[in-house]
Structure 1
Amino acid sequence: MTTAGVPGKAAKGCEHPPGCHTGELPVHASATVGARFWLLIEHSGPWASHLEDCDLPEEIHTLIKRATSLGIRPQLIRRPGRRTPGGDGIHVMVADSTAAEPWLAEGVVDDPDDLDLEALRAGVVPKSCILVSEPVFLVCTHAKRNACCARIGLPLARSLADVWPDRVWETSHVGGDRYAANLVCLPHGLYYGSMSQAAALAAVDAYRSGEVILDRFRGRAGIPEPLQAAEHFVRAHTGELSVGGVAAESSRSEGAATEAIVRGSGTRFRVVVEPMTLPTPCGTACADTITTYRLVTLDRLTPVRYATPALT
């Protein structure tokens, strides 16, 4: 077997049987917990299975190492369908998904020292970057990591780029190969999985309007999975779809169950969720099982009478 679009080295992946990557299995509460701050680095590839093994300029390896050491999520990105070298310098984008108002900035640096990643980690726009108002959409196409990401992600990235050519990028592994094709919306770090072209177009349109679509919505990165689940169930219960309209305020765990207080639609809810495991139709290729969360209880508490900071 050869990786889609990359001859030679075989990659992990499934044969895409019926029910696999189609949205029939639940994807909620599966966004990458550790992705709170982002560093996107343009590099046309090819990409090895893991970033540290990629044949990259030393400057890019240095940026990746620094970002990782600071808890910043590094991603390689490239324009869909293009494998041409970039221009002078290193094109980067940085994002803070944890801020009260998440932000995205971009710039070109000649040297790793020109990019102040400590500032990013502190929630400050690095001096070498400029804030941008338009969102960015990442589609995982990391063939060497998982063949499904290339087979399903590549055509999806290209179709989205036909509509938004300047805002869509192919990207390296974002977490959750079993949910390919994966779409990430920045700066908020919203994850979608098992995406079809129609579902992706709808998700992008919704995000550009400040909303989420619950169908195939994996959750918001940087938030513990049980709280992603609690927010999901409050959205489903209230119909609140605005990006900032639902937020977990506090939580506690007892055994496997998690109890969270979640604000949504002007009301607080007490939500209890617990994990559950489901088999996948993919066998052992992408994953034998997936872990998701089921709703135990959801109780309405009191109206929200004052602003409370969202849990990030």
Structure 2
Amino acid sequence: MDRDGVRYRPETGCAAQADLRHDPLTATAPPAERWLLIESHTAWPRQALSSLGHSGLREGLSGGELGALVARRCREAGVRPVLIRRYGRVDRNGPRRWGLVDCQPGRELVRWGELPADEHLLEVLAGNDPGQVSDEPVYLVCTHGRHDACCAVRGRPVAAALATAYPERTWECSHIGGDRFAANVVVLPHGLFYGHVPTARAVELAKRYDEGVVVPDLLRGSGAFNPAVQAAQHFARAAGHSPAVGNLLPQSVEVLGGHRWRILLASTNGPIAVEVSAHLDTVDARLTCAGSSPAQVRRFELHSLTTA
């Protein structure tokens, strides 16, 4: 059911309406320099981490308390936690895994380990279980229907397409932000957020990543960078600079005031100076299926782009 007892319909959901409004994807990736991936065999509630604790708890710690504790430890460590699961049928009796991902430029790394019980996540966050380094990328597809129906309706076909082509790399995941941009895909370890991903182009994102490039028209940005840097990178690519994953790294960010920034990007063609500003636009729309109207959306404007 949708808000006010109205049944959800995909054609009137937040993602379909954002499509019709042509909401820009530019610089909408939420900050996420590090990730904690938690394989879950239980149903995901709206607040995903509240499901932690079903696998056996330390004495005196309830499931809700464990979820809150893991969330707090993640905030303190600058880590974004999400639940993950394989697409399709899940062997609920099989072993579960945890993943720890670093998306910081030059430090990109994925590590995996076994998760015997949910409370073991505290050991992982404390650095007491280093896991095993993996050189395989990870594809997360948000399918968290209890958070927003659009994520499930649009995300599951994309997850199916990716899982068919890359079964070991692909995971459904809980809420990652930007419901109206469903289907949302995150490519790790570079933290690339893609939005409004059509099922027919899901495998394209993976193939292009293997080639070391981004797909600009679907890219929301990299969570490793703040929104102003994401916007500067977008405008540089739109001006013809290389879409290589490692190109356009920020060298400096100068805050000019008035929601304006001057950002120096390193490029294969030499340094690029980009000046951008951010503006809030009011729209008569709901940005999530459970949201309210009117709402505000942030939009970035390019003021100058010069090369040395």
TM-score normalised by structure 2 residue count: 0.83
- Shift in CA distance, 101/52, structure 1 to aligned 2, threshold 3 Å: closer
SS state of the match for residue 267, structure 1? coil
Q: Distance in 1 between matches of 2:170 and 2:20?
A: 22
Q: Distance in 2 between matches of 1:210 and 1:24?
A: 28
Shift of 1:86: 4.7
Q: Deviations over 1:129-149 (max 9, x none)?
A: 111111010000011111110
Partner of 1:107: 113
Letter in 2 for 1:117: L
| Pairing partner for 1:15 from 12, 17, 23 | 12
**What are the ranges of 5 or more consecutive residues in structure 1 without an aligned counterpart?**
120-125, 302-312
8 Å CA contact retained: 2:247, 2:267:
yes
Partner of 1:276: 279
Indicate whether 1:67 and 2:69 are aligned: no
Letter in 2 for 1:262: L
* More displaced 10-residue stretch of structure 1: 275-284 or 178-187: 275-284
Partner of 1:159: 161
Q: Distance in 2 between matches of 1:250 and 1:22?
A: 36
Q: Distance in 2 between matches of 1:290 and 1:78?
A: 31
Indicate whether 1:96 and 2:102 are aligned: yes
Partner of 1:223: 225
| Pairing partner for 2:29 from 11, 28, 31 | 31
Shift of 1:21: 4.0
Letter in 1 for 2:23: L
Partner of 1:179: 181
* More displaced 10-residue stretch of structure 1: 18-27 or 98-107: 18-27
Residues 46-61 of structure 1: pairs in structure 2 closer than 5 A: 46-54=43-51, 56-57=53-54, 61=67
Partner of 2:39: 42
Q: Deviations over 1:243-283 (max 9, x none)?
A: 11111111122212111111112311111111234566854
Q: Distance in 2 between matches of 1:12 and 1:53?
A: 28
Q: Distance in 2 between matches of 1:23 and 1:156?
A: 22
- Shift in CA distance, 109/78, structure 1 to aligned 2, threshold 3 Å: closer
Letter in 2 for 1:98: Q
8 Å CA contact retained: 2:111, 2:130:
no
Partner of 2:125: 117
Letter in 2 for 1:91: R
Partner of 1:197: 199
Letter in 2 for 1:275: A
Shift of 1:293: 1.0
Q: Distance in 2 between matches of 1:260 and 1:65?
A: 32
Q: Deviations over 1:153-196 (max 9, x none)?
A: 11111121111111111000111112111000011111001110
8 Å CA contact retained: 1:108, 1:128:
no
Q: Distance in 2 between matches of 1:279 and 1:148?
A: 22
Q: Distance in 2 between matches of 1:22 and 1:91?
A: 39
Comparing both structures, which one devotes a greater share of its residues to helix? 2
8 Å CA contact retained: 1:160, 1:168:
yes
SS state of the match for residue 223, structure 1? coil
8 Å CA contact retained: 1:234, 1:264:
no
| Pairing partner for 1:134 from 136, 145, 170 | 136
Give the % identical residues: 31
TM-score normalised by structure 1 residue count: 0.82
Q: Distance in 1 between matches of 2:251 and 2:16?
A: 39
Indicate whether 1:237 and 2:244 are aligned: no
* More displaced 10-residue stretch of structure 1: 225-234 or 283-292: 283-292
* More displaced 10-residue stretch of structure 1: 106-115 or 178-187: 106-115
Letter in 2 for 1:296: H
Equivalenced residues, count: 288
